Chain A
Amino acid sequence: MESQFSYRILSTVIFLPVAGAALIFLMGRSKEAMIKWTALVVSLVTFVLSLPLFTCFDKTTANMQFTERLQWVPSWGITYALGVDGISVLFVLLSTLLTILCVTVSWTSVREKTKEFFAALLLIEGSMIGVFCSLDLFLFYIFWEAMLIPMFLLIGVWGGPNRVYAAIKFFLFTLVGSVLMLVGIMVLYLNSGYSFDILNMMSRNYPYPLQVMLFWAFFAAFAVKVPMFPMHTWLPDAHTEAPTAGSVILAGILIKMGAYGFLRFSMPILPEATKAMAPAMMVLSIVGIIYGGVICLGQTDLKRLIAYSSVSHMGFVTLGLFALNTQGLQGGILQMVNHGIITGAMFLCIGMVYERTHTRQIADYGGAATVFPVFAAFFMVFTLASIGLPGTNGFVGEFLIILGGFTASKAMGVFAATGIIIGAAYMLMLYQKVFFMQVNPAIQGHSDLGTRELITLLPLLVLVFWIGFYPNTFLGFMDVSVQNLITRVNSAAQPQIAQQIIEVIR
């Protein structure tokens, strides 16, 4: 479907933030107010401009929509191709929304190098959206890697005490994974008739041994980003040390890119390998769920706890995806959005309270519900959503995933359900230690949330209940695309079987 709008929506939402970043870079360092307002206005306008993706999206087709296609490097067969389908559209919207909140939450907390901070934030936004919209593998890789630079700076310059270590670890882990994927991309390119076109790759059948090799090459990049169990060690450091906005982006969107990669590339392009490797992926997911949860129980640092909970929650996501059935996939995708909302909100909350108390140690809190009643109410909602209480978005996602998990394998479902219990344990424990019990004198006297902070949290609160009570608004987006994906994964084996039969007959 060609875009019927007067502007190219996807290019606009990618490059408007980049232009905003350039504009901010040109401003004088002393004009802090102007820089902040520019960042806010740019992110707001980007969000508004991305809304047609929500309102005008055709939910009845699995085809790419809002597509754009331009020749870019003809001699390599590279096109500048953008488009969204039901799988990616929600992430674009989530990105544009979360960036606004990142700007508002950093309004007073970032005091040093304000200019570079907001420029980096907008650059990240542009490249994140680019990752979700690319229909050309080369273009995808450019966005995928380009994001590393501003993210590295965001963690390393404005982060906590151990920020340099965390930034380098983040960068190296991600880079090693990415370059292996790059080799995979090259091999794929040479086997696809010199084309980087993702849609073209989705309709081809590659020989099985090649698929398996490519699957692991792509796995290297995506599993680091998700992060899946053995590659997760960068995440606690990066999330803990990053500034609030950085944590929100990391947890909210960046790690979704890994899971999105599985959905967009591994599954439709390498369906046979995906089917063959699904059990291994599910086992890794289960290990991640339980391991991440158990580690959470022992954490003393607020941010670190939420960071490890991400490992556990992303385990649910990958479990759902590799269950390779409708419930699992829909649950997995929805849970990616949910996790972005909930964990994003959690990091925002912690950032707000950190700005007041300057400590992240759980032991330094206690009785916060007395001191910050409004804040406590918000945090309660997000905690319950994270546990997966019915009526919140977390429930819908996790329920679908466990349903999908059971359908795929009973044992997986059982283990995943155990993960939810552990999740409830650490989240409630956290809530109890921070908000109830004796009021800690250290936090006495601080003010409750201000208007700016309320406005920051409110959209996420609304989304928690919206998805919780009426998930169909969002599930409706992905219905057709998920069905299409499942058909592709399941049917891909047949041509080869047919080929084998023909060979036998010969």
Chain B
Amino acid sequence: MSVSVQIPDLIPVMPEIVVTLAAVILLMLELVVKNKNSLGIFAIAVSGLSLYILPQCQGETFGGMFVNDTVSSYFKVIFLINLFLTVLISLRYMQREKAESGEYYGLLVFATAGMMIMASARDFIVLYLGLELMALSTYILAGIKRDDLKSNEAAIKYFLLGGFSSAMLLYGISLLYGLTATTDIFKIGEFLKGTETTPALLFAMALILAAFSFKIAAAPFHMWAPDVYEGAPTSVTAFMSIGPKAAGFAVIANVFFSAFHGLRADWAPLLIIISITTMAVGNILALTQTNIKRMLAYSSIAHAGYMLLGIIAGTEQGLYAMMTYLLIYAFMNMGAFGIIVLMDKGDELKDYEGLAKSRPLVAALMLVFMFSLTGIPPTAGFIGKFNLFLAVVQAGYTWLVVVAVIFSAISAFYYLRVVMNMYMKAMSEEAALSPSPFLSLALGIAVFAVFAIGVLPSLVIG
């Protein structure tokens, strides 16, 4: 009997290999390179290279455990854009905050690798590996300002709650394995098609859903988000508000559309409740915030609520609309955080008073991002919402869309408060900025994308 060792096809994992290798190299380089900026530029180059080879690496490998198809590629594009923009806004900021440890860029790249693996995972074990790689990296990133109490608090909170959610996920996966004797997501779906729903199965599904809800900061698993967003360095907050959320949606889409496809009647009502609670909690609690990072944390909770609608719709259009929304959200949210990073003192809402007088261009950019987050045309935010809600109406959930648009109208109030402070309040002191060409590039890309998608939606849909 001869054992033939087959080398698996590595082409589909090439982007992940590139990113992971780069992360390892970054960690080594950090020991010898004094100029940390060059590490950042290396990370940018890596994201560019990975984006470039991504289209050529379609296919499945490792016995179907790892699949790189159009959907997962789309998510990977979001992750890589997220990495690219985060590094751009970090370069000057980390220097200013004196938190420029070399592992910063390495960790960003590791986290991105984790997300990419999550998007491609077709097996719960692979999924869990990717998720932990991402999560562990972001825990450290949240606490990267070692001397800062708030940053430490954020890291600890994120770590403890994150660990708890990972445990729930593992418990859910093992229950599911016990029921179906496989960890392959597709095979679980096949298996569950014929069987009756048992309490144990529902329990496993609920555990998995809870763990994923934690990652996307959906209520009632959102508690960590405001504290962590506030405490973490702003560039990390920007990174976390997009990357892990998008990765969370990637796995939710994957698991609930494939493994739990047959249980749609059971999970749809559950997700509807979660989605409405999330929109309510996010939008209503954001109204009273005085710290802009906390406000954007609640705003990001609210946006997760909208995006869940795409999953609830349960259709292909819903899925694509949700992915488009994530891409648009990446640009506008990164833009908003970019402005916060640009300001020397910009964590509090009152720091923005009179900004339109002292820094008209910065204020105008922030205005654009705020209106885009609200979803007012002709910005990309409107196209995202329109596309998403249209898919949900099409799936027959008109009433849910009515709820969502009402909440989205409520959200206008807190986004407008920023605009109000910038344009309608007297200046208390001239705002100091720390501009850099990289940051300007990031803001330029963000504002260009917001308007380009807003005026020519064909760029992202269809």
Contact = CB atoms under 8 A, between A and B. Distances in A.
Given A29-B360, A171-B412, A179-B405, A75 B398 contact: no
Nearest to A173: B409
Contacts of B356: 113, 116, 157
Given A157-B424, A186-B401, A149 B360 contact: no
Interface in A127-175: 141-142, 145-146, 148-149, 152-153, 156-157, 163-164, 167-168, 171-172, 175
B389 A167 contact: no
Contact of B424 (A72, A167, A183): A167
A171 B401 CA distance: 21
A70 interface: no
A180 interface: yes
Nearest to A153: B423
B390 interface: yes
Majority secondary structure of chain B interface residues (helix, strand, loop or mixed): helix
B409 A74 contact: no
B376 A145 contact: yes
A380 to B, nearest CB: 37
Contacts of B382: 142, 145
Given A149-B376, A164-B424, A75 B390 contact: no
Contacts of B408: 179
Interface stretch (B240-248, B257-265, B433-441, B454-462): B454-462
A187 interface: yes
Nearest to A29: B360
B269 interface: no
B412 A149 contact: no
Given A76-B462, A171-B416, 10 more contacts: A152-B419, A171-B412, A172-B409, A180-B406, A182-B389, A183-B389, A183-B402, A186-B386, A186-B389, A190-B393
B413 A168 contact: yes
A91 interface: no
B458 A75 contact: yes
A187 B398 CA distance: 8
Contacts of B367: 149
B371 A172 contact: no
Contact-residue size bin, chain A (C-beta under 8 Å from the other chain): 20 to 34
A104 B382 CA distance: 34
B416 A152 contact: yes
B178 interface: no
The interface centre, meaning the residue of A113, A116, A145, A148 with most chain B CB atoms within 10 A of its CB, is A145
A255 B340 CA distance: 37
A153 B360 CA distance: 14
7 contacts: A142-B382, A148-B376, A152-B419, A183-B389, A183-B393, A183-B398, A183-B405
B378 interface: yes
B394 interface: yes
A399 to B, nearest CB: 40
Contact of B377 (A29, A142, A152): A142
Interface in A76-93: 76
A21 to B, nearest CB: 12
A149 B376 CA distance: 8
Interface of A: 29, 72-76, 113, 116, 141-142, 145-146, 148-149, 152-153, 156-157, 163-164, 167-168, 171-172, 175-176, 179-180, 182-183, 186-187, 189-190
Interface of B: 356-357, 360, 367, 371, 376-378, 382, 386, 389-390, 393-394, 398, 401-402, 405-406, 408-409, 412-413, 416, 419-420, 423-424, 456-458, 461-462
A180 B378 CA distance: 18
B458 A180 contact: no
A101 B398 CA distance: 44
A180 B423 contact: no
A72 B457 CA distance: 9
Given A157-B424, A187-B393, A187-B398, A146 B378 contact: yes
Contact of A180 (B390, B402, B416, B424): B402
A138 B183 CA distance: 46
A180 B377 contact: no
A168 B456 CA distance: 29
B320 to A, nearest CB: 11
A192 to B, nearest CB: 13
B420 A168 contact: yes
A89 B357 CA distance: 39
The interface centre, meaning the residue of A29, A73, A186 with most chain B CB atoms within 10 A of its CB, is A186
A142 B378 contact: yes
B424 A156 contact: yes
A204 B374 CA distance: 33
B416 A168 contact: yes
A75 B383 CA distance: 13
Contacts of A172: 409, 412-413
Which 5 residue pairs across A and B have the least CB separation, nearest first? Answer: A75-B462, A179-B405, A142-B377, A176-B409, A186-B393
B241 to A, nearest CB: 24
Contacts of A74: 458, 462
A24 B408 CA distance: 32
B401 A145 contact: no
A186 B390 contact: yes
Given A73-B458, A75-B458, A76-B457, A183 B377 contact: no
Contacts of B357: 113
A164 B394 CA distance: 38
Contact of A73 (B371, B378, B389, B457): B457
Contacts of A190: 390, 393-394
A29 to B, nearest CB: 7
B260 to A, nearest CB: 27
A116 B382 CA distance: 24
Given A75-B458, A145-B376, A175-B409, A183 B401 contact: yes
Nearest to A190: B394
A113 B424 CA distance: 11
Contacts of B393: 183, 186-187, 190
A258 to B, nearest CB: 17
B243 to A, nearest CB: 28
Given A74-B458, A152-B416, A182 B405 contact: yes
A189 B390 contact: yes
A476 to B, nearest CB: 35
A42 B371 CA distance: 27
A111 B271 CA distance: 53
The interface centre, meaning the residue of B360, B405, B406, B457 with most chain A CB atoms within 10 A of its CB, is B405
A133 to B, nearest CB: 16
B434 to A, nearest CB: 23
A22 to B, nearest CB: 12
Contacts of B390: 186, 189-190
A103 to B, nearest CB: 21
Contacts of A116: 356, 360
The interface centre, meaning the residue of B382, B389, B412 with most chain A CB atoms within 10 A of its CB, is B412
Contacts of A187: 393, 398
A270 to B, nearest CB: 17
Contacts of A156: 420, 423-424
Contacts of A152: 416, 419
Nearest to B375: A179
A89 B423 CA distance: 35
Contacts of B412: 171-172, 175
